[in-house]
Every structure is written in C-alpha cells, then in structure tokens.
Amino acid sequence: MRIHRHHTAVAPQDRGSVVAIGNFDGIHLGHQAVIGLAGERARVLGVPHAVLTFEPHPRSVFRPDDPPFRLAPFRTKARLIERLGADLLFSLHFDLDFAKESAETFVDRVVIEGLGAREILVGRDFVFGNKRRGNPALLQELGAKLGFAVSVIDPIRRADGEKAYSSTRIREQLQSGRPREAAAVLGRFWEIEGRVQHGDQRGRTLGFPTANMGLSDYLRPQVGVYAVRAGVPGPDGHTTWHDAVANLGMRPTVGGLDLRLETHLFDFSGDLYGRHLRVALVDFLRAEKKFDGLPALKDQIAKDSEAARVILAKEPPTADQ
C-alpha cells in the first residue's frame, strides 16, 4: 500500500481510483464494510482501491481540550487499512485552515484536481467542508455535474433497529470495562500499541517482569487488570502473540503518579525495551486497588495471572492483523 500525505502531485498511476472517505477511527466493522465495498468497485472498474482520511482526527482540532479519545492512531489505522486490501492511503493534514474550506472547494481541489477520483464511497452520516455543510446528498449532486460516481452506504443495523457499528459505542464499552463488547463491534480485540519504556523494574523484583507503555493519545479505557494478548512484531513484519496479563492504572500500592500499561507476558524471555508492542484487551478481570504492601500485591498478581491463563486458554489464536 502506498501512503500519500498530500493530495497534490499524485502520480498518474494513482489517479482515477475508487475512494472510501471518512475518519475511520477504529476501523470497526462498519468502516470495514465501506472500505471493502470500495475495493469491490475498484476491481470491477480495474482501477486503484483508495482510502482517504484525515490526520490529526478533526475532533482533536475542533476540541483540543477534550480527553484523549483515539481508538486507532495513524500507525494502527494504516496497518488495518492495508490488511483490507487498499492500494492507496491518502492521509490529509487537517487543521483549522483546512476546516474553513467550503465543501465545493474540497471536491474541486482534492477529489477532482488531486485524486481524479472515479468513484467515491461514504457512510450515510459523512459530513465535510466549512460548518459541516457538505453531506452525501451534496456529494451526489456535485458528482453528477463533475463526472464522478458517489455511493452512499447505509449503516448496518441490529434487528432492533439500533445502529450496530459506532466508534462512540466502542469508546463507551471500553471506558466501562467491556472489551469483549467492543471487540464485537470492531471485529477484533482492541489494541494499545506503543514503544516499551523503562520502568522502575518493581515487577521484576516481584517475579512478574512487565513491559511498560504510556497511552499517548489513545482513549483511556477502564483502569484495572485485564487478560490480554501481547503481540511482538518481528523484523519480517510478522507479529508473534503471547498470552499475558496487564494492569492499566496508576499503581496506588507503590505511589504511582502516571497512568501506565504494565504487561506481563507468560513464559516469555527476551528484551523488549525500546521495541514496539501491541497489547490487545481480551477480558476485564478486576478494578485497580491499593494493597496492603508488596507481599499482598504479589499474591494478587499471581491470582490475576492464573485467571488470565484460564480465560486465554479458551480463546482461539490471535490472527496477525
């Protein structure tokens, strides 16, 4: 997959694509449907399959004081989009100047002049342009005038009529300690990915060495202890998955001052410092609590580890995605 950070000077072979457009935070099953349909149309037409998205997420530009909310930072988003078979990813820089452009200007400057798009696919709730005036109906009107097709994908709904696939729903589920419900909407377990940092090595002294990571701009899920799968990417790009237990929290027993994800990989030996690690939340075990000293904490970690092993033994192997 070729990644373009700009819509200008696009090579001739990358123009004329079928393009799925959206923020696509999380790449949940609804997003996957839109991107997948774009791929089907591209194959029928014999043109490139493209995805166009925006970085940073527009919400962080309009509401910079909001707590972190991202489900899939760019690195994760790009990997998932590539797995869906896209040939091209256009990741356009979003700022207040970009937001001031009219919907018509966006179509002229990006869709027509930049990408030379053959066809566009968007979700029914897609909005764009100054004051969010652009919508699928306007896209279809402009497409009819300017010579590109527009397909609008209706949201997939449950039998009770409720919208099934929503990034907002996923955030709510993760923040209330329901990672399995979030996984049902995502189509996979939700992950936190980052570089392993040096900690205070207290876990090693307790007999449970941990890989420590900050959360950067990820959403803050419910603090507590989780059964997780930890993915260690190899030099060939393949990720090896290990059963593990993780504590997400402030570490009140030892007077911790920062939110941290500490992951103990079962039956693992190796140096992870400085390496990227993917931690997929499988099940919530318990809330974080302050223990009456390190011996009590050590005993609880042993119990948490055993509980996580039992849960993870029932899970199928994690696919490399």
| Residue 230, domain CATH | 2.40.30.30
> Does one domain contain both 67 and 125?
yes
| Residue 14, domain CATH | 3.40.50.620
Asked if residue 168 belongs to a domain, the reply is no
> Does one domain contain both 136 and 245?
no
Residue 303 domain boundaries: 178-313
Asked if residue 170 belongs to a domain, the reply is no
At 237 the pLDDT is: 79
> Does one domain contain both 217 and 254?
yes
Distance (Å, rounded) from C-alpha 251 to C-alpha 106? 47
> Does one domain contain both 20 and 134?
yes
> Does one domain contain both 96 and 197?
no
At 202 the pLDDT is: 58
At 230 the pLDDT is: 97
At 305 the pLDDT is: 97
At 158 the pLDDT is: 56
Helical packing angle, 179-186 and 167-175, nearest 10°? 160
* Amino acid at site 33: A
Show pLDDT as tens, one digit a residue, over the chain (321 residues). Answer: 999 999 999 999 999 999 999 999 999 999 999 999 999 999 999 999 999 999 999 999 999 999 999 999 999 999 999 999 999 999 999 999 999 999 999 999 999 999 999 999 999 889 999 989 999 999 999 999 999 999 999 877 655 556 678 899 999 999 999 999 999 999 999 999 999 988 666 556 667 899 999 998 999 999 999 999 999 988 887 899 999 999 999 877 776 668 899 999 999 988 898 899 999 999 999 999 888 888 888 899 999 999 999 999 999 988 766
Distance (Å, rounded) from C-alpha 243 to C-alpha 167? 27
Which is it for strands 211-213 and 191-195: parallel, antiparallel or unpaired? unpaired
> Does one domain contain both 36 and 110?
yes
Which is it for strands 224-233 and 211-213: parallel, antiparallel or unpaired? unpaired
- Count the domains in the chain: 2
* Inter-CA distances, 38 with 8, 45, 50, 118, Å: 22, 11, 8, 11
Asked if residue 166 belongs to a domain, the reply is no
Asked if residue 167 belongs to a domain, the reply is no
Asked if residue 161 belongs to a domain, the reply is no
From 153, 188, 207, give the residue that closes a domain. Answer: 153
> Does one domain contain both 212 and 123?
no
> Does one domain contain both 83 and 40?
yes
> Does one domain contain both 145 and 261?
no
What is the number of alpha carbons within 13 Å of residue 83 lying toward its C-beta?
A: 15
> Does one domain contain both 146 and 183?
no
Helix (H) or strand (E) holding 281, with range, is strand 276-286
Asked if residue 165 belongs to a domain, the reply is no
Distance (Å, rounded) from C-alpha 24 to C-alpha 247? 28
Asked if residue 234 belongs to a domain, the reply is yes
> Does one domain contain both 145 and 14?
yes
At 160 the pLDDT is: 56
Burial of 308 (0-12, 13-18, 19+ CB in 10 A): buried
